[in-house]
Amino acid sequence: METVLVTGGAGFIGANFVRWLMANTMTRVKVLDKLTYAGNRGSLEGLPADRVELVVGDICDAGLVDTLVAACDVVVHFAAESHNDNSLRDPSPFITTNLVGTYTLLQAVRTHDKRYHHISTDEVYGDLDLDDPAKFTEHTPYNPSSPYSSTKAGSDLLVRAWVRSFGVRATISNCSNNYGPYQHIEKFIPRQITNVLTGRRPKLYGTGENVRDWIHVDDHNAAVWTIIQKGQIGQTYLIGADGEKSNREVIEEILRLLGQPDDAYDMVADRPGHDLRYAIDSTKLRTELGWRPTYPSFAEGLAATIGWYEAHESWWADAKQATEAAYAKQGQ
Ligand code: NAD
Ligand code: TDX
């Protein structure tokens, strides 16, 4: 039985990935997660103890990382500081975790010659104009805007260098915005859902015309596993499901699904350096590896996600007050 080391497996996408592996493969999983404010043990509850183990630790801890990498077959690296707004308040943990953490993992997979998959974001490419017919491809030049996206870009470049100079067996994927269960309520969609559920109004940054390209987290994770199974070493694959929507459209849809008037939201201070539009062309992944998104429409996925937050208040309630207090300090 293959053992997969999943870094950041107590975070949003990582925890959904572990759940996806349990449902769709025979693998055994070791999660390495520091349990920062974004990590939650509860996201791994109910999984089989003989197949999933959580090790609480830091990806910058070279000794621990070396031991765990030596004992696994494949490393899937999700752990990161992941929120743009936090990176504007304090970039420091982004530099450490996203750059030094990735370097630490690369050194260990190099030493032990292990297969490595690196999870990254479309934000490394910067942004597109609203009326630009182009989408991001694997050939788009890197042009990141925020401390978050620049550290993700830097980590991708480290991976490419370790492939070329040291022969590390790695692949990279850059995905668009994910939604689904277990996402921290600091992020756009769960923030608005839990605002309505707690009697607050949704908060739209700036004009709300900014566009994000939404994909259900299960479709992202199925693509990651496809790349691990069939991807070519050294290659980058873009993951996206043609889900472009403006932030205003998403807020209006959330309000409608929750039975509220669709103008019952506040317009608040914009994010400094706010990227205008992301859009992914995932032709390479679809044609070369045969992946397709399978999740039903965004509206259905959003309705199911709202249902999950309604049913799992105990998972998010403790973080709500502090998260909103931090936003309020910035007029958001
Ligand atoms: P998240 O913030 O929900 O989870 C990150 C996890 O990493 C948490 O469990 C946290 O405790 C852990 N972690 C942080 N620092 C650590 C450290 N030093 N050592 C060990 N563990 C640490 O993030 P997410 O949204 O699940 O994103 C996962 C990955 O996917 C990230 O690499 C992110 O850049 C990438 N990504 C996210 C999206 C998205 O829409 N959320 C889109 C594309 C790519
Ligand atoms: O309250 C809000 N109001 C609002 O209008 C919040 C929290 C966000 N926004 C806007 C900003 C963005 O245009 O919504 C959009 C989405 O915001 P986030 O959820 O913060 O996501 P984004 O900045 O697009 O980055 C996400 O996708 C790419 C993830 O957080 C990253 O980890 C991933 O790399």
Q: Which residue has the tokens 């043609």?
A: 242
pLDDT in tens, 277-318: 999 999 999 999 999 999 989 999 999 999 999 999 999 999
**DSSP conformation letters of 104-115:** HHHHHHHHHT-E
Mean pLDDT of 57-74: 99
Q: Kindly report the protein residue whose alpha carbon is nearest to atom 8 of ligand 2.
A: 188
Maximal C-alpha separation, the chain: 58
Ligand nearest the Cα of residue 215 is: 1
Instruction: Tell me, in angstroms, the distance from the centre of ligand 2 to residue 332's CA.
Output: 13
pLDDT in tens, 260-278: 999 999 999 999 999 999 9
- The percentage of residues in the chain with a pLDDT greater than 90, rounded to a whole number, is 99
Query: What mean pLDDT, rounded, does the chain reach?
Result: 98
pTM equals 0.99
User: For residue 109, how far is the Cα from the chain centroid?
Assistant: 22
Instruction: Tell me, in angstroms, the distance from the centre of ligand 1 to residue 268's CA.
Output: 26
- The percentage of residues in the chain with a pLDDT greater than 70, rounded to a whole number, is 100
152: pLDDT strictly greater than 90: yes
| Cβ contacts of 5 within 8 Å, gap of 6 or more | 29, 30, 32, 68, 69, 72, 74, 75, 76
Instruction: Write b or e for each residue in 246-270: b if 16 or more Cβ atoms lie within 10 A of its Cβ, otherwise e.
Output: bbbebbbbbbebbeeeeeebeebee
Which residues sit with their C-beta closer than 6 Å to ligand 2?
82-84, 121, 123, 177, 187-188, 191, 203-205, 210, 212, 247, 271
Q: Tell me the HSE value of 303 on the side-chain side, using a 13 A CA sphere.
A: 9
Q: Which residues are catalytic?
A: 122-123, 148
pLDDT in tens, 191-211: 999 999 999 999 999 999 999
Model confidence at 319, pLDDT cuts 50, 70, 90, reads very high
Instruction: Tell me, in angstroms, the distance from the centre of ligand 1 to residue 81's CA.
Output: 6
Model confidence at 91, pLDDT cuts 50, 70, 90, reads very high
Domains recognised in the chain with CATH numbers: 3-184+215-243+278-297 (3.40.50.720)
User: Looking at residue 296, what is its pLDDT?
Assistant: 84
227: pLDDT strictly greater than 90: yes
C-beta separation of 195 from 201 below 8 A: yes
User: Looking at residue 1, what is its pLDDT?
Assistant: 79
212: pLDDT strictly greater than 90: yes
228: pLDDT strictly greater than 90: yes
Q: Which residue has the tokens 């590896």?
A: 289
Distance CA 69, CA 170 (A): 14
Distance CA 185, CA 199 (A): 15
Distance CA 294, CA 231 (A): 19
